[in-house]
Amino acid sequence: MEEKQQPSVVKRIEPLECPHCKNSILIGMQSMMPYITRLSTLEDVKKSKIELLERIEEITFVTEEEKADVLKWINDEETLIDNDDVEAIEKNISLTQTQKISDIANKDNKENEKQ
């Protein structure tokens, strides 16, 4: 099992002038350096997008506009999708569309009950 690299902590102390008393003060700062969690090739991204596009075809969208927006986002060259993300993205889109359809049905039912 590959051990994950832990992020490096960078600590700095900088002298600054206090805006109130004009004395020199030391400010301690700490930040974490970024680290690589996984590597993917452009070919991996293309395969993941193709798999996601195939899965998207099984989802019922509220409108064709919403489906077009999702497809546009997936096909955007700046959208990077890793194989590990495909299932989660599909599930999120599916749940969102299912909830919207349910909300519309509930609204229609309430309007019919009023009549």
pLDDT at 5 over 70: no
Q: Among residues of the chain, what percentage have pLDDT more than 70?
A: 93
Handedness of CA 84, 87, 89, 92 (dihedral sign): negative
Q: What is the pTM of this model?
A: 0.62
Q: Which parts of the chain fold into alpha helices (H)?
A: 42-56, 64-75, 83-114
Give the lowest-confidence range in 35-39, 40-44, 62-66, 80-84: 35-39
